[in-house]
Amino acid sequence: MPTDLPPVDKAKFVAAKRASAYVEDGMTVGLGTGSTAAWLVRCLGERAQTEGLRFRGVPTSERTADLARELGLEITTLEEARWLDLTIDGADEHDARLDLIKGAGGALLREKIVATASERMIVIADASKKVETLGACPLPVEVIPFGWQTTCALIEEALIGLDVMGREVTLRMEGEAPFVTDEGNHILDLHLKRIGDPRRLGLMLNQIAGVVENGLFVDICDVVVTGYADGRVTLHDETRGTLEETRYEFVTEDNIFTDISD
């Protein structure tokens, strides 16, 4: 790993490294999607090579599956695994209650299915992802392509009576064409600025015809592992009500992080 990583990538790396320690031999593990989750997959690949770690991974996207195969990790499907020991994934935002917004990478449907089929969900993030109130980043909503314009209008109408600061809804694009998820759907991004009641909003969205799933993860996450550019990592365990800190040191001569405290 290069030593000249930008600070945000250093933070993501140490969070991923610490979270990878949750994976034990014989586990079945959900592997998230996104830049932070990609660091996790690389850390697990390193453990597999250096420690002989053996586990089965259930990727939440084709991108993650390709990376896992490239690193020689064993992957399987949720249909075959049925139930997972844990899922480790990133987040676009999380609050103090460990409620999340996910879906900037477009894999929110698979991510939520895999996370809810797991005994525990661990989120890895840099410090910028913690917010006082969810909603600063757009909330993704996966919708079927048929009649998406009508679905969009229904969402805009429903938002009028909710505790949010903005109501703009945009279709996510990829170049000049609508973005298409791994399941063949589109994504509407809701620019809400602030979400006063995430639970109510999530339930409302999923009642609208055409909506497949939304990016609010409420009461799903158990632990948030937060990395910092200086090598610090904090673990916020909501189940146990604990907050722990670990620190890693960049070792420039061999480009490896060394754990120097717990």
What does the alpha-carbon distance between residue 236 and residue 226 come to, in Å, rounded to a whole number? 8
Is 125 annotated as a binding-site member?
Answer: no
36: exposed, middle or buried (Cβ count in 10 Å: 0-12, 13-18, 19+):
buried
Residue 129 annotated in ligand binding: yes
Residue 243 DSSP SS3: strand
Is there a contact between 19 and 124 (Cβ–Cβ < 8 Å)? yes
The distance from CA 116 to its chain's CA centroid, rounded to whole angstroms, is 13
Among this protein's residues, is 111 annotated catalytic? Answer: yes
Q: Tokens in use for 126?
A: 């840099």
Does the annotation place 241 within a ligand binding site? no
Residue 147 assigned as binding residue = no
Task: Pull the structure tokens for residue 208.
Answer: 């609208």
Give the tokens for residue 214: 């939304």
Is 60 annotated as contributing to ligand binding?
A: no
Q: Is 153 annotated as a binding residue?
A: no
Q: Residue with structure tokens 């996104």?
A: 34
The answer to the question of whether 230 is labelled as a binding residue is no
**Is 3 labelled a binding residue?**
no
Residue 35 is assigned to a ligand binding site: yes
List Cα–Cα distances, 19 to 14, 154, 224, in angstroms. Answer: 9, 40, 9
CA dihedral of 151, 153, 158, 160, whole degrees rounded to 10: 160
90 is in an annotated binding site: yes
**87 labeled part of a ligand binding site:** no
205 φ, ψ (degrees, to nearest 5): -60, -40
Chain-centroid distance, C-alpha 204: 22
Residue from 93, 111, 142, 213 carrying the catalytic annotation: 111
**Binding positions:** 33-36, 89-92, 102-105, 129
**Binding positions for substrate:** 33-36, 89-92, 102-105, 129
Q: Which residues are catalytic?
A: 111
